C-alpha cells in the first residue's frame, strides 16, 4: 500500500511532465488545469488581526468576542486543508492569491489574507519555487487578484519579490494562444503571474488580470452552479484568453448564521444535494475547463 501511494503522489507531482507528446504543443488555454480557491487559507492565523477588507460588523464582532470569534471565522475562511507544497504534490497548478498589508505594521510586510491574515507572501512564494526547482517541467499560474491596504511602494516591493524568487522562470505576457508546454519548456519558463492591477501594464512578466477572468455563480445551490458554469464556458472560450471556472459555492449571511459553529465545509455539505466531495464544492477552481 505504501509503495502504491508513493507512485500516485509522484504521478500527481509531475503530471504535466508525463502528459502525452500530442498535448505538448496544444495551447494551455485549451487544457483544464486544476486550481484552488483562497489557496493560502491553510495558513490562516487565528491570532492575527482582522483583515482591512472586512466590514465594520465583523470588526465589532471580533472586538467583543476576541479569540473565540477568530476561531469561528477560521472555520468559514479556511477553504484548504493542505499547504502549498501539499497542493502542488496533489496536482494543483493554479493559485488564487490575495495580498494585504497589516495595519500599523512598521515593517510594511506583505501577507496573504482572507478575513484574517495568513502566511507572509515571500514565504509562500519561496515554498512554491522550491517545488518548481525539483519538478522543472511543471508550470504554475499565480493569480494575484485582490490587494488590500497596498500603496505604490507595496506593489513595487511585491514585483521585486517576484523577480528575486522566480527570476527567469517567469513567462513574459504574450498572446495566450502562443503558450504551450513545449513553448514554456524550450524557454525554461515555469511561472505565469496574473496581476489584477494597472501595475501589470508596467512590468513585462506580469499578465494583465483581464487575461484571467473569474466570474462566479454566487450561490449555495449546486444545480444553479452547474447551470452557470455550462452557460458561461462556451462564451468565455471564444475570447481566446485564460479563464477560471469556479466550482465554488458561496455562503450567504443566513448560511453563516445557521452554521456559525460548524463551519463552511460541514454546513455547505449538509445543505447541498448530490454526491460531490466537500473539497470540490468549497475550494476548487479549474483553469480553462470545458467540464466539471
Which of the following is catalytic: 24, 37, 135, 136?
37
User: How far does CA 121 lie from the centroid of its chain?
Assistant: 13
Report the predicted TM-score, pTM, of the whole model to 2 decimal places. Answer: 0.82
What is the predicted pLDDT for the residue at 276? 32
The Cα–Cα gap between 191 and 170 comes to: 5
In the DSSP assignment, the letter for residue 143 is E
Strand, helix or coil for residue 73 = helix
Give tens-digit pLDDT for 170-229. Answer: 999 999 999 999 999 999 999 999 999 999 999 999 999 999 988 778 887 888 888 888
> Chain centroid to CA 35: how far?
6
47-73 b/e with 16+ CB inside 10 Å = b?
ebbbbeebeeeeeebbeeeeeebbebb
Q: Are the C-beta atoms of 34 and 27 separated by less than 8 Å?
A: no
Instruction: Kindly list the structural domains of the chain, giving each domain's residue range(s) and its CATH number in brackets, ordered by start.
Output: 4-287 (3.20.20.190)
Helix axes 56-77, 264-271, angle to 10 degrees: 80
* 10-residue averages of pLDDT along the chain (292 residues): 47 94 95 94 83 70 66 76 96 97 89 92 98 98 96 97 98 95 98 97 96 84 86 70 82 56 56 36 46 29
Give me 154's grid cell.
507595496
Q: 3-class DSSP state for residue 247?
A: strand
Backbone angles phi, psi at 113, to 5 degrees: -155, 140
* Helix orientation angle between 152-166 and 121-134, rounded to the nearest 10 degrees: 20
pLDDT (0 to 100) of residue 182: 98
pLDDT in tens, 245-258: 888 777 665 555 55
Has 37 been annotated as catalytic?
yes
Name the E strands within 21-134.
33-36, 94-101, 110-114, 116-120
Question: What's the start-to-end Cα distance of the chain, in Å?
Answer: 30
Q: Is 114 a catalytic residue?
A: yes
Q: One of 114, 135, 155, 196 is an active-site residue; which one? A: 114
Amino acid at each position: 500500500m505504501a509503495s502504491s501511494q508513493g507512485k500516485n503522489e509522484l504521478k500527481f507531482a509531475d503530471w504535466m511532465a508525463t502528459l502525452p507528446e500530442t498535448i505538448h504543443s496544444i495551447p494551455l488555454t485549451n487544457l483544464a488545469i486544476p486550481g484552488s480557491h483562497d489557496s493560502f487559507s491553510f495558513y490562516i492565523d487565528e491570532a492575527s488581526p482582522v483583515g482591512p477588507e472586512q466590514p465594520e460588523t465583523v470588526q465589532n464582532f471580533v472586538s467583543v468576542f476576541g479569540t473565540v470569534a477568530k476561531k469561528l471565522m477560521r472555520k468559514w475562511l479556511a477553504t484548504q486543508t493542505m499547504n502549498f507544497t501539499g497542493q502542488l504534490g496533489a496536482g494543483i497548478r493554479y493559485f488564487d492569491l490575495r495580498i494585504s498589508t497589516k495595519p500599523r505594521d512598521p515593517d510594511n510586510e506583505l501577507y496573504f489574507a482572507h478575513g484574517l491574515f495568513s502566511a507572509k507572501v515571500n514565504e509562500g512564494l519561496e515554498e512554491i519555487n522550491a517545488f518548481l526547482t525539483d519538478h522543472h517541467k511543471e508550470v504554475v499560474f499565480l493569480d494575484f487578484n485582490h490587494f488590500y491596504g497596498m500603496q505604490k511602494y507595496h506593489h513595487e516591493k511585491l514585483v521585486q519579490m517576484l523577480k528575486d524568487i522566480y527570476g527567469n522562470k517567469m513567462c513574459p505576457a504574450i498572446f495566450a494562444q502562443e503558450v504551450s508546454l513545449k513553448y514554456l519548456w524550450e524557454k525554461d519558463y515555469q511561472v505565469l503571474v496574473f496581476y489584477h492591477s494597472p501595475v501589470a501594464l508596467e512590468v513585462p512578466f506580469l499578465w494583465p488580470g483581464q487575461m484571467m477572468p473569474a466570474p462566479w455563480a454566487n450561490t449555495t445551490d449546486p444545480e444553479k452552479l452547474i447551470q452557470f458554469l455550462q452557460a458561461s464556458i462556451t462564451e468565455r472560450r471564444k475570447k481566446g484568453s485564460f479563464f477560471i471556472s469556479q466550482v465554488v459555492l458561496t455562503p450567504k449571511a443566513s448560511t453563516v448564521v445557521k452554521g456559525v459553529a460548524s463551519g463552511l465545509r460541514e454546513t455547505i455539505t449538509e445543505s447541498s444535494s448530490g454526491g460531490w466531495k466537500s473539497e470540490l464544492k468549497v475550494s476548487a477552481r479549474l483553469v480553462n475547463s470545458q467540464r466539471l
